[in-house]
Amino acid sequence: MLIGRFTERPYQDPSSGYFGATGRSIQDLSISNGEYNPQLGSELYNRYLDEQVSAEEAGFDAIMLNEHHSTPFCMGGTVNTEAAILARITDKVKIVINGNVLPIWDDPLWLAEELATIDMISKGRLVTGWVRGTGRESIAHNAPPPFNWERFQEAHDFIIKAWTTPGPFRWEGEHYDFRYVNPWMRPYQNPHPQIMIPGVVSKNTVKWAAEHRYPYLMLATRLEPTKASFDYYREVAHESGYEAGPQHLGYLFKVHVDETEELAYETGKKFLDGPGNIFLEGSRGTASPVLQNLPGLTDRKNLLPTGEIGFVAASRGRSAADVARENSSNESGSRNVRAAQTQATLADYDTQLENYTIISGTPKTVIPKIRHVLETLRPGTIFFWDGDGAMTHDDSMRSLRLMGSDVIPAVKEMAKELDLPGSFEIDTKTNEPYDPTPAIADVAGGGA
Amino acid sequence: MFLKEIIVAMKTSTEPASRIVNVAGLDINIREAGEGKPLVILHRSTGYFEWDNFTNKLAESFHVIYPDLPGFGNSERPDWAREARDLSIIMAELLKVLDIKDVTLVGLGLGGFIAAELATMNQERLSNLILISAAGIKPETGEILDQMLIDHTEYVRQGFTEASHFVDLFGDAVHPDILDIWEFSRIMTARISWSPYMFNRRLPPLLNIITVPTLVIFGNNDTVIPYTVGQQFIDNLSNGQLEIIDGGGHLVEWEMPDKICALIVKHSH
């Protein structure tokens, strides 16, 4: 099993009204960067980098970064910069970028160059994840939503070719044209870094990931719909002529460990405070339905079971027409049933603790809960989402220490017992044992 | 990719006959009513949704032909189209396929953008051109309201000068079928006009090619496209005439159908 740690690196500004859920609404893309404080940003970037180094020291196999734009809930707008620094200041951990938003790159060759550089500096520790992004990302970098899925697929094909085919060559696709593809860098890993596909809603993406035999990572979705989405992956795998195993499946979920149950209860609550991810249950922020349903961005007939869960659906997957309908009916004081349903899914903290949306406790209580998740979903890759929302550096560090001393060793044992190999134990492309040695000699031969 | 069911469901007794015409390999849906000189309307980015007072009034004086633009309503989507000019080429071909001459071409909003592009390329079949709160030019002052960043309902509401006019047409809560039409229309709008939004920097330098008489109509209360864009059209056109409607909003043909029809009739005969 691959065990990783993740935080969104929220922009925690104690002087702002939205820190600590003090009542200020965080509507997606509604906060001006006029109130951004670079001194604070500097402290936070360095703090989060330090915590990722501590995660390596605690014994995590991987540290995961993500990318969002124009939002305080995630400072990873230039995630590759963070990854490049971590490549140099860490030694063993996989550096997982989940993920670069492919369709917003007008020049994916540049991305191919950056990722290859990170892979070389890290000596082959990069895991590269690629996503389609939400409406926020399309707006922030002005990428046309109707072509999001086409651009995702073409950028993927192009980057793989740029990494694996000796140049120079010409690329003339539907959305990208390059007259001279011959980047003067190549990935350290041969043929290229492992690719992981994270997602929440799109059925197309799961199908595509399964067809490419890429590990698919569900991002903090509820257990039952996640299980159903994994079943769908297995179904597509079967149709594609192979059997999907734990190595093909990953799950990100919120886990915080603390010294006492009382402290764990209070600190876990902070997941819901601060500039948390607006897509998550209990978040104090609100997604803009208009932005999450940009024209042609998501095929609404192709939603995963997770997309049917009220909050995700209302904020992310459902049609803008549905939401607009709801809005207009609210105005007229009738037909607010859907709004009530949405409210009902904004489960309070205690409910989230019960339904495994948040796991927070001492190692003694957390470990059995993790076991339940592993038994239910059978993933080969997991990421603990911690140190988020309003959590302080001290909160993060207490958890990291206990993760290292108690939780990670226990989960590793559990994974062996439950037979949950990760994608670096069983090769997802062949279902054979994974060869951990990058074939450096072969790489040199490529340019001959 | 059609909204046939919705359109059928919405048809009222006043809906004129429609038929499918093959244009450049695409099935294009057109509606026709009235007799006389041909008048072709190119609809707004929100798409066609009903035969209203404006079209009824026009059909008293013209043979009105009202197509769904390619990719809107019941017209097939050209997957390859990337800009308004692409739709202009198809619409120019429609005039040829229908073999109509001496056409009054009326463009509304995005349709005005497409009509202007069309006229720069081929005006042989046109007698005159009428651009109503037309997009197509980057405003020198102000900005075009970005429908991609707001709710459909709010966007359409912005087109009216009086909130009550919006309610008169759509009621307190807009019918889900209409919201679906707006959402569907927005996909094609984004495919051809995501960026730059609603204008083409290569259009103004070509507007001087248009020699047919062109009437440019803007309401001076337009909150979607700054009405000063009207003057920008006139500054570039060879044979343009500007009509500023005092108190008119963006959807001026919905709020003042009689007035706008009278201007169209006067300009066309």
**Dihedral of alpha carbons B221, B222, B223, B226, sign:** negative
> Are residues B225 and B200 in contact, defined by beta-carbon separation less than 8 angstroms?
no
Instruction: Supply the pTM of this predicted model.
Output: 0.91
Percent pLDDT > 70 in chain A is 82
Output b/e per residue, B129-143; b: 16+ Cβ within 10 A. Answer: bbbbbbbbbbbeeee
The Cα–Cα gap between B25 and B21 comes to: 10
> Are residues A196 and A250 in contact, defined by beta-carbon separation less than 8 angstroms?
yes
pLDDT-derived band at A300, boundaries 50, 70, 90: low
Tell if the CB–CB gap between B172 and A331 is shorter than 8 Å. yes
**Of A311-325, B105-119, B150-164, which range is least confident?**
A311-325
Q: Residue A440: how many CB atoms within 10 A of its CB?
A: 12
Tell if the CB–CB gap between A328 and B186 is shorter than 8 Å. no
**Dihedral of alpha carbons A258, A396, A197, A347, sign:** positive
The residue that leads in pLDDT, A303 or A321, is A303
CB < 8 Å to B179, chain A: 321, 324-325
- Check pLDDT > 70 for residue A437: no
Is A252 at the interface with chain B, CB within 8 A?
Answer: no
**Of A13-17, A153-157, A428-432, which range is least confident?**
A13-17
- Average model confidence (pLDDT) across chain B: 94
Please report the pLDDT score of residue B167 as a whole number: 93
Structure tokens at B137: 């030019």
Please report the pLDDT score of residue A221 as a whole number: 87
Please report the pLDDT score of residue A288 as a whole number: 77
Tell if the CB–CB gap between A146 and B195 is shorter than 8 Å. no
> How far apart, in Å, are the Cα atoms of B239 and each of A279, A376, B120, B180?
54, 73, 13, 39
Is A295 at the interface with chain B, CB within 8 A?
Answer: yes
Quick one: average pLDDT of B192-209?
98
- Check pLDDT > 50 for residue B158: yes
- Check pLDDT > 60 for residue A339: no
- Check pLDDT > 50 for residue A426: yes
The Cα–Cα gap between A31 and B121 comes to: 44
CB < 8 Å to A145, chain B: 190, 194
- Check pLDDT > 70 for residue B5: no
Please report the pLDDT score of residue B132 as a whole number: 98
- Check pLDDT > 80 for residue A224: yes
The residue that leads in pLDDT, B198 or A332, is B198
Please report the pLDDT score of residue A408 as a whole number: 98
Please report the pLDDT score of residue A28 as a whole number: 76
CB < 8 Å to B173, chain A: 325, 328-329, 331-332, 334-335
User: How many pairs of residues across A and B have Cβ atoms under 8 Å apart?
Assistant: 66
**Site of tokens 């965080």:** A26
**Of A9-23, A261-275, B138-152, which range is least confident?**
A9-23
Please report the pLDDT score of residue A9 as a whole number: 95
- Check pLDDT > 60 for residue A338: no
pLDDT-derived band at A329, boundaries 50, 70, 90: very low
Distance from CA of A345 to the nearest CA of B (A): 23
Quick one: average pLDDT of A322-334?
38
Please report the pLDDT score of residue A18 as a whole number: 62
Interface of B with A (CB under 8 A): 148-153, 172-174, 176, 179-180, 182-183, 186-187, 189-191, 194-195
The Cα–Cα gap between B103 and B93 comes to: 13
Structure tokens at A129: 């994840």
CB < 8 Å to B150, chain A: 290
> Is residue A435 exposed (0-12), middle (13-18) or buried (19+ Cβ within 10 Å)?
exposed
pLDDT-derived band at A314, boundaries 50, 70, 90: very low
Quick one: average pLDDT of A406-419?
98
Max Cα-Cα span within chain A: 71
- Check pLDDT > 50 for residue A233: yes
Neighbouring-strand partners of residue B114: none
- Check pLDDT > 70 for residue A323: no
Interface with B, mutate which of A28, A318, A328 (most B CBs under 10 A):
A328
CA-nearest residue to B181 within chain A is A321
Most confident stretch, A66-80, A397-411, A424-438? A397-411
Tell if the CB–CB gap between A295 and B189 is shorter than 8 Å. yes
The Cα–Cα gap between A433 and A425 comes to: 6
- Check pLDDT > 50 for residue B7: no
Quick one: average pLDDT of A223-248?
96
Please report the pLDDT score of residue A280 as a whole number: 65
Please report the pLDDT score of residue A342 as a whole number: 37
Most confident stretch, A68-77, A202-211, B192-201? B192-201
Q: Residue B90: how many CB atoms within 10 A of its CB?
A: 24
Max Cα-Cα span within chain B: 45
The residue that leads in pLDDT, B115 or A446, is B115
CA-nearest residue to A146 within chain B is B191
**Of A313-317, B91-95, B239-243, B248-252, which range is least confident?**
A313-317
Quick one: average pLDDT of B111-134?
98
Interface with B, mutate which of A28, A30, A286, A290 (most B CBs under 10 A):
A290
- Check pLDDT > 80 for residue A24: no
Nearest to A321 among B173, B183, B191 (CB): B183
Tell if the CB–CB gap between A332 and B173 is shorter than 8 Å. yes
Quick one: average pLDDT of A377-388?
97
- Average model confidence (pLDDT) across chain A: 86
pLDDT-derived band at A290, boundaries 50, 70, 90: confident
pLDDT-derived band at B27, boundaries 50, 70, 90: very high
Tell if the CB–CB gap between B191 and A146 is shorter than 8 Å. yes
Tell if the CB–CB gap between A320 and B152 is shorter than 8 Å. yes
